[in-house]
Structure 1
Amino acid sequence: MSVNKDFLSCVCACCIPAFVIPASFNVHADEVSHTDKGATATAASADTAAEFDTDLLRQEGKNQIDVSRFAYGANVMPGKYRIDILVNENLVSHEEVTFKETEKNRATPCLTPEIVKLINLNVEKVPFAVRKALTEPEACTDLAHLLPDATVKFDADKQQLNIAVPQIYLQRTARGNVDPSLWDSGVPALMLGYYMNGYESHYSNAETSRTFYSSLNAGLNIGKWYFRHNGSYNWDQTTGGSYQSTNTYVQGDTEFVRGHLYLGQYFTSGQMFNSVSYTGAQLATDDRMLPASQRGYAPEIRGIAKTNAKVTVRQSGNILYQTTVSPGAFLIDDLGPTGYGGDLDVTIEEADGSTQQYTLPYSSLAQSLRPGAQEFTATAGKLRDYSTSEKPLFFETTYMRGITNILTAYAGTQYSKNYLAVLIGAAVGTPVGAISADVTQSKSRLGGDEGDLAGQSYRVSYSKLINETNSNITIAAYRYSSSGYMDLQTATQTRDAIKHGDDPNTVWRSKNQFSVSLNQGLPASLGNVYVSASMQDYWNNGTSYNTQYQIGYSNSYKWLNYSINASRNKAGNGQDQTTWYLTLSMPLWPGHAGSTPYVSMRYNEDSDGGRGEQANISGSFGGDNQYNYNVSGSHDNYSGSSGSVSGSWEGSKATVNGSYSTGKGYSSSSVGMTGGIVAHSGGVTFSPYNSDNYALIEAKGAEGAKVSGYAGATVDSSGYALSPSLVPYQQNRVAINPEGSDLGVEFEKTAQEIVPRAGSVVKVEFKTHTGTPLLITSSWKGEPLPFGADIFDDENTHIGAVSQGGVIYVKVSKEKGTLTVKWGEDEQSHCQVAYQLKPNVAAGKDRNTIQRFTSVCQ
């Protein structure tokens, strides 16, 4: 049903201050009253009618509309509507709901047993009348009357039925839980994401270099199975071009383990063993399928309340969670992930005003899981390594489980004909930080003179946020491998080298690996200091090692951001080099968000005597900031001065970028393009964004309308657009901005909620109505048409209501037709007005211009 929003705006804002048509009706609401200029309007409960002073409606003569149908706030006509159903503000389904007219001219939703079951009621706690209603197939359950404090509201603007039920009557579910029945597999589609870049450079010796690179991500979606292929094409003027396939596989969801099945060329997770590419099969859990509050690590919080108490959980002063609990023991096990550290402060505020407070030490690592949570992978396949001729069949399994708040245990194994590795470890949360430790035993059969090698690898990781000193050790890790230890890929490469008579020492075996990242906040807004370092060396190559150190300080003053840092690593000549940097950045002027040009300056100096300066200006412009630019100039004491300019444009079908740079003895230029293409039953749709998940928006007749949140993405001439970057298994709001579309287009709604599966293309239909606006001054038997009378088109569709003075404002799609005006049920309470568009409008010109004329209602 289309609602003429222009008319309603006029009615509500201009014409009738005492006559209110609510945006939603409330089946069970508290009673309020409002008085304006002597008129009374009482928006009441389900059994109390609102009263209107019809004198203020300025209705003349005998033709007056019966306002009794607005007495209970109903703003929807009886009929069937496909709408979203929300329970306590959480989307639970998208169903067809019947609205029935009651004895008091109210249209109320019929809550069938199927709809009530979506609420997930705790049958043991609801009244007997509700349980009985669930057994009557044709019943319309009056939930607001049968269940204390329950409410049912329909929001016509959002097309949502909002059901609120006290928590005591619901089955306990984790916050953010989305029923798997809502996971949308999407529509059949052929997908292609691409990135292309061409580069050309010229040198002082008249040499020219030209290269071209393109990466492709192709997919085919059929039902719940998603076929994927990833690859790249490289070309240069010397060696020509070649295409390399990265992987090709099919992916399907497995709800029974909350994970995915991968068949084909894929890779292992790398969480316990080094990640390897394979051809085979893998079954792996995916915590994105869990409720948002169950993902990642967070501890269980237990306590005892003396009364109906409010429990608040804070971290670093920020409120993470707040709920009300009944007297007695309580458990909070749906606290969302809170990063790697920061102790949790728990406050219990009793009804009598007393409080309890305690602190729960909290630090976590990637291996940490909440109590009872588990993750596992099972992989079987042939190793894919382009550097070896041997492709051994191997098996890998990993398993992790949260035992308690402070303990997570994990184990894994890798096996092939000539290799075996077993890993066991644990992550422990302590008051001084989170620590994980594991040991891996490997045995490699290499052949030749090397025979068999066996060894161990020991790994320790640590993480801690110290609130008192504002110190954050993001992660510190150290790994030591004995001389006989090899991972699967190293063992395979070594075996292959021996088989072909090559020196096995050309395959390096890791000895020590170390990394640390520390952030230290200084008091009194004095800024922040950070330190990071990494190191790696090898058993069979003592002269080669990798080291890198960084230390820096950053702060800001008003608009100015500044930082000083130093780094030490190996230069191109193999010698250690230390470099110092000073960086300043600020907007050229305040405000205007992303459109404000940003300027940054940098000075650097290194231990070899090199010095350089650089200045850079970047920003964006356009209605949606779809144009981006960057201009920079630099100078150093080795190569002199240089400059560059680059920019990009996010168009409706692709994102295009280009750059040009020049310096002493050289110049270079590049041009690139990226985007996505989806072929579906309605045609082919382009996007300036590359994504593995799309919402396919269908809005017929709305060419030019914008996809909210994505610059450049608009509805094409076929009525389709793509909204990228959806979050799988969560509610995603897909919205469309009518700006840019034809003024004659009306949207029934401009936003919808969807829950896509990973890799899906979900179709989202936005129903539109197109037409030419008519403004007709009409009368019935010499008197103005009754104010508020309903207007129907030739197909008996309700398209508006009569405004003040008997004026009709509607939009029509036909060249000519008849409008029916009704203000009652008897034959004397309706009439018809004929219309015909002007010839130029009927020919498709000036369709947005309001057609004004006077006609008698017959």
Structure 2
Amino acid sequence: MQTLRQSGSAIPTSAGSYTGKMTPIALILVSMFTASNAQADLRVTPPQSIARNVEFDPQFLNMGNAQEMDLSRFANGSNALPGHYKVAIYLNRTALLNADVEFKSREDKTVYPCLTPKIVGSIDFNTDRIPASLLKAIKGGEQCIDLTQEIPAAQVVFDSNEQRLDIQLPQAYVNTLARGTVNPALWDSGVPAGILGYNINAYSSQSNGNDSKSLYAGINAGVNIGAWYARHNGAYSWADGGQKKYTTLNTYMQRDIPVLQGRALIGESNTNGLIFDTLPFSGVQLSSDERMLPESLRGYAPDIRGIARTAARVTVTQGGQIIYERTVSPGEFIINDLYPTGYGGNLDVTIHEADGSEQNFTVPFASVAQLLRPGTHRYSVTMGKLRNDFIDDDPALYQATYQRGLTNIVTGYGGVQASQDYHALQLGAAVGTFVGAFSADVTQARTHLPANSGGTQSGQSYQLGYSKVISETNSSLSLAAYRFSTEGFMDYLTAMNTREAVRQGFPASSVGRAKNRVTLTAGQGLPGDWGQFYISSSLQNYWNREGNDTQYQMGYSNRYKSLSYGLSVNRSQSAYGSTQNNYLLSFSFPLGRRDSSHTPNIRVQLNRDSNGNMREQTALSGTAGAGNQFSYSASAMNSNNGGGASGALNAQYRSQATAVSASYGAGENYQSQGLGLNGTMVAHPGGVTLTPYNGETFAVVEAKGAEGARVSSYPGVHIDSHGYAIVPYLNPYQMNDVSIDPKGTASNVELDNTAQKVAPHAGAVVMLKYTTKKGWPVLINATFEDQPVPFGASVQDEKGNNVGAVGQGGQIYARVSSERGKLNVIWGDGSHMACQVGYVLMPQPKGQKASAVQTFTSLCQQASNNNVPKELASRSASGSPSGS
């Protein structure tokens, strides 16, 4: 007997639900058909490929009224009854689209999906190979296309449990698509919505009798109207006795242009840094977005690591603007969740210690060799003005860049920059070879200065890049850039700063001009279990300034059983002569089983700096709660040179509405406190919903009546009391699975579908509606004329919707939506082959949970023509719900 998957009266699906619902009985019936060495094929397939005219032996069930049962609808297979289904359609296992599809019966009562010209037309056919009749049917707008009749080699497979319709076509009939391709017709621009993301951090410290208080509130606000998305990113900084100001990072409006695989932007933003360094601008931009390509065709913000001596505040700036701020615990920290800020331009990091001291260092941020696949390209055109608080005259910025994969191993790229009194042109190429990937480019620049400040300055800058991963030796090497610039060369920002200095009366030489710049990153896995070694360094010197800017990090890490350990050395030296060294030895291990989600972790660190300061720290951290919604850490530290003993406590709670964090630190002569809030408010057509997550692209899940159900896999994301939930971090232009776990909902609530797929535009707020029905499951032992009602008979409610089927012994399992009513039992054509079962549910005590299933015995009475119209009985004989 063929193995069958059971499907209940409510079928969990990935795209929707059949309006009449399949039942286990219908599937059992199909499995019990017998034919000469043949089994019933449960797929919606071409009629010539399935078992034909199989017959069911009713004597097997010992049914006295079996001769009156009409089981012909199961004689040719299929696990779908005629009707309307909301399905996810896949072409050769790649998502095509979601659609409502009507399933119809052929003359032999096999069932096939009636595909509309819109559905069939979304297939990227090889028009030279498909039949002319199919093209004519698509262009002619026929209401129903039977694809298996038009292309005999085609297969159409329907899975009613998953509500998934798979179309299989020979590759010769369709154009080849890259893995992960999502048809742009499926991209969802979302619903009108308002977004307000917030990151609030209050911090105070007391040191040697001095009090310091500060507040940072960053917001990411936006409004979506149709395909236009408006965004504003800003931050308010307040310091007791210091500066109090609101800083606008950028404000812009954008719209995707799928045909160009790009986006138009108006307002304030940043150039992408692929060819020239990242620059903030105000104006207009048209640029490509690689995320619109499938993942298999895609060709970066760096991690920031540092060491905090106390419970400190870390600020990250780029080009003088704050782009990130966070409170960290004492010891080593990593920041790896920066918003994308381009691919060039160093990041300046400041650690504000609780005792009033500061640490400063720079993280190099440069693009490496950029190889593209043949025929793919990246482009960007920007026209506007430079945004820089230190340059008063708002110089113009005109920039265009382009990259294209010329062959399988060569990519060409170039760009132009222009402003008043400044022009630059860059040309280059990247080459992929067996010894690594190389890039080389040259930039010619000309800057016009007043005659008394040097006059016209002209020069070149030459850059070489290299990257290589050697899997055999577990090695990686990336010489992100070696750049040599002649004395007369200035990049755009240096030229604008020089012009500003001259305008304010300073000499042109007051602005440093880079001569050599090297950035090196390398990693090496050692043989056997000897661990991993890495090095990262940068060096820059100047034509008109003594000294070098130097920074390097070296480290070694390994693991022995559950013990992880590492050693790192950080050194930085500025051109002005200041040097800072840091050495860190660390150990970490779990306090219990590593495979347990709530096992706390211990970390021990020994730190020494170039001033002879020694610090020993022990930290305990972990998570708690059923959804890991609680996180905590506690640390104790001892320092020499008068630092003494200190400690810090940190805790975070991620509720359904927001994420709350708190910290406390104390040491000799100082103490500090911190409090933070993080989350997003989303206004949508159904109201306002809160989430503890920040993000770019969201889904609003609407499931009225399913309060308490968990959504997807993020802690704290549940259907709220208004029937909504926010799912963050959707991948734009790619299919995202959004599922609901019904656990936690009331027993009388049924979800028509529990999962959907969506491919949103970047920045969209998409709406996913999950239909819920309130009903009560019943199990009725029904008899008709002193016998159990016929096995396999259809059971419909008073509206004609299929709600169940009759099992053995005349048992009816169904879910009813009314506390009293009638069910129609139909097993043939005509009112004499139908009867009605009345039911009245037992009242439930107020405040008591409803019973899972109510069971009772009832007489199925002869149905009159008034109660069961002939057309209803006729349709039920073929299994089609009248509600279709």
Is TM > 0.5 for Structure 1 vs Structure 2? yes
1:25 partner amino acid: L
1:154-193 deviation per Cα after TM superposition (whole angstroms, max 9, x unaligned): 1112222111112122223333222221111111111111
The residue that corresponds to 1:379 in the other structure is: 382
Q: Structure 1 pair 667/695, CA: closer, same or farther in 2 (3 Å)?
A: same
The 8 Å contact of residues 129 and 146 in structure 1, kept in 2 or not, is answered as yes
Alpha-carbon distance in structure 1 between the residues aligned to 2:277 and 2:575:
28
Alpha-carbon distance in structure 2 between the residues aligned to 1:754 and 1:446:
55
Question: How far off its partner does 1:246 sit?
Answer: 0.9
Return the match for 1:261 from 264, 276, 287: 264
The residue that corresponds to 2:154 in the other structure is: 150
The 8 Å contact of residues 562 and 594 in structure 2, kept in 1 or not, is answered as no
The residue that corresponds to 1:481 in the other structure is: 485
1:573-612 deviation per Cα after TM superposition (whole angstroms, max 9, x unaligned): 9643443322222222334354322222222234443222
The 8 Å contact of residues 4 and 810 in structure 1, kept in 2 or not, is answered as no
Return the match for 2:683 from 672, 679, 696: 679
Q: Structure 1 pair 222/125, CA: closer, same or farther in 2 (3 Å)?
A: same
Return the match for 1:670 from 663, 674, 679: 674
Q: Structure 1 pair 254/10, CA: closer, same or farther in 2 (3 Å)?
A: closer
Q: Structure 1 pair 370/529, CA: closer, same or farther in 2 (3 Å)?
A: same
Q: Structure 1 pair 656/53, CA: closer, same or farther in 2 (3 Å)?
A: farther
Alpha-carbon distance in structure 1 between the residues aligned to 2:629 and 2:69:
51
The residue that corresponds to 1:495 in the other structure is: 499
3-state SS of paired residue (1:69):
helix
Q: Structure 1 pair 573/837, CA: closer, same or farther in 2 (3 Å)?
A: farther
Alpha-carbon distance in structure 2 between the residues aligned to 1:845 and 1:526:
62
Question: How far off its partner does 1:58 sit?
Answer: 5.7
1:245 partner amino acid: T
The residue that corresponds to 1:388 in the other structure is: 391
1:260 partner amino acid: R
1:685-732 deviation per Cα after TM superposition (whole angstroms, max 9, x unaligned): 111111110111111211111111211111112221111111111111
Question: How far off its partner does 1:281 sit?
Answer: 0.4
Q: Which of 1 and 2 has higher RCO (CA within 8 Å, sep 6+)?
A: 2
Alignment of 1:839-854 (within 5 A): 839-840=843-844, 846-847=849-850, 849-854=852-857
The residue that corresponds to 1:108 in the other structure is: 112
The residue that corresponds to 1:438 in the other structure is: 441
The 8 Å contact of residues 652 and 688 in structure 1, kept in 2 or not, is answered as yes
Question: How far off its partner does 1:88 sit?
Answer: 0.7
Return the match for 1:707 from 687, 704, 711: 711
The residue that corresponds to 1:689 in the other structure is: 693
The residue that corresponds to 2:293 in the other structure is: 290
Q: Structure 1 pair 470/592, CA: closer, same or farther in 2 (3 Å)?
A: closer
Whether 1:398 and 2:401 are equivalent positions in the alignment is yes
Whether 1:426 and 2:429 are equivalent positions in the alignment is yes
2:673 partner amino acid: S
Question: How far off its partner does 1:135 sit?
Answer: 6.4
Alpha-carbon distance in structure 2 between the residues aligned to 1:15 and 1:605:
76
The 8 Å contact of residues 446 and 491 in structure 1, kept in 2 or not, is answered as no
Alpha-carbon distance in structure 1 between the residues aligned to 2:93 and 2:583:
53
Q: TM-score, normalized by length of structure 2?
A: 0.82
Question: How far off its partner does 1:57 sit?
Answer: 4.2
3-state SS of paired residue (1:293):
helix
1:209 partner amino acid: S
The residue that corresponds to 1:86 in the other structure is: 90
1:242-284 deviation per Cα after TM superposition (whole angstroms, max 9, x unaligned): 2111111110112332101110111111122121111110111
The residue that corresponds to 2:347 in the other structure is: none
2:565 partner amino acid: Y
The residue that corresponds to 1:98 in the other structure is: 102
Quick check: 785-794 or 699-708, which moved more? 785-794
Return the match for 1:800 from 798, 804, 814: 804
The residue that corresponds to 1:230 in the other structure is: 233
The residue that corresponds to 2:281 in the other structure is: 278
Alpha-carbon distance in structure 2 between the residues aligned to 1:164 and 1:736:
29
2:812 partner amino acid: I
Q: Structure 1 pair 409/23, CA: closer, same or farther in 2 (3 Å)?
A: farther
Return the match for 1:28 from 36, 40, 45: 45
Alpha-carbon distance in structure 2 between the residues aligned to 1:213 and 1:57:
75
3-state SS of paired residue (1:595):
coil
2:248 partner amino acid: S
The 8 Å contact of residues 4 and 799 in structure 1, kept in 2 or not, is answered as no
Whether 1:722 and 2:726 are equivalent positions in the alignment is yes
The residue that corresponds to 1:161 in the other structure is: 165
Question: How far off its partner does 1:380 sit?
Answer: 0.5
Question: How far off its partner does 1:523 sit?
Answer: 1.9
2:783 partner amino acid: S
1:475-494 deviation per Cα after TM superposition (whole angstroms, max 9, x unaligned): 34212223322222222222
Alpha-carbon distance in structure 2 between the residues aligned to 1:631 and 1:14:
59
Question: How far off its partner does 1:90 sit?
Answer: 0.9
The residue that corresponds to 1:38 in the other structure is: none
Alignment of 1:11-22 (within 5 A): none
Alpha-carbon distance in structure 1 between the residues aligned to 2:169 and 2:617:
61
3-state SS of paired residue (1:398):
strand
1:381-423 deviation per Cα after TM superposition (whole angstroms, max 9, x unaligned): 0111111211122211111122222221111111112211111
Gaps of 5+ in 1: 31-43, 298-363
The 8 Å contact of residues 25 and 74 in structure 1, kept in 2 or not, is answered as yes
3-state SS of paired residue (1:171):
coil
3-state SS of paired residue (2:188):
coil
The residue that corresponds to 1:449 in the other structure is: 452
1:730-749 deviation per Cα after TM superposition (whole angstroms, max 9, x unaligned): 11111122122222222222
Aligned residues between the structures:
775
Return the match for 2:592 from 589, 600, 606: 589
Quick check: 98-107 or 705-714, which moved more? 98-107
Alpha-carbon distance in structure 2 between the residues aligned to 1:677 and 1:701:
22
Alignment of 1:226-625 (within 5 A): 226-239=229-242, 241-296=244-299, 365-447=368-450, 449-450=452-453, 451-543=455-547, 545-570=548-573, 575-625=578-628
2:267 partner amino acid: G
Return the match for 2:629 from 623, 626, 640: 626
1:540 partner amino acid: N
1:191 partner amino acid: I
The residue that corresponds to 2:639 in the other structure is: 636
Question: How far off its partner does 1:115 sit?
Answer: 3.0
The 8 Å contact of residues 553 and 568 in structure 2, kept in 1 or not, is answered as yes
1:196-219 deviation per Cα after TM superposition (whole angstroms, max 9, x unaligned): 1111222242x3222211111111
The residue that corresponds to 1:786 in the other structure is: 790
1:280 partner amino acid: G
The 8 Å contact of residues 252 and 262 in structure 1, kept in 2 or not, is answered as yes
3-state SS of paired residue (1:828):
helix
The 8 Å contact of residues 2 and 799 in structure 1, kept in 2 or not, is answered as no
The 8 Å contact of residues 23 and 157 in structure 1, kept in 2 or not, is answered as no
The residue that corresponds to 2:219 in the other structure is: 216
3-state SS of paired residue (2:804):
strand
1:267-319 deviation per Cα after TM superposition (whole angstroms, max 9, x unaligned): 1111221211111101111122223322219xxxxxxxxxxxxxxxxxxxxxx
Question: How far off its partner does 1:570 sit?
Answer: 4.1
1:82-134 deviation per Cα after TM superposition (whole angstroms, max 9, x unaligned): 32211111111222211112334433212344433333332322456655655
The 8 Å contact of residues 41 and 51 in structure 2, kept in 1 or not, is answered as no
3-state SS of paired residue (2:259):
helix
Q: Structure 1 pair 221/615, CA: closer, same or farther in 2 (3 Å)?
A: same
1:769-800 deviation per Cα after TM superposition (whole angstroms, max 9, x unaligned): 22223333322222222233222222221122
Question: How far off its partner does 1:378 sit?
Answer: 0.9
Whether 1:3 and 2:9 are equivalent positions in the alignment is yes
The 8 Å contact of residues 40 and 76 in structure 2, kept in 1 or not, is answered as no
The residue that corresponds to 1:350 in the other structure is: none
1:383 partner amino acid: L
Alpha-carbon distance in structure 2 between the residues aligned to 1:632 and 1:780:
76
The residue that corresponds to 2:337 in the other structure is: none
Q: Structure 1 pair 129/249, CA: closer, same or farther in 2 (3 Å)?
A: closer
1:506-547 deviation per Cα after TM superposition (whole angstroms, max 9, x unaligned): 43332322111111122223222212211223333325x421
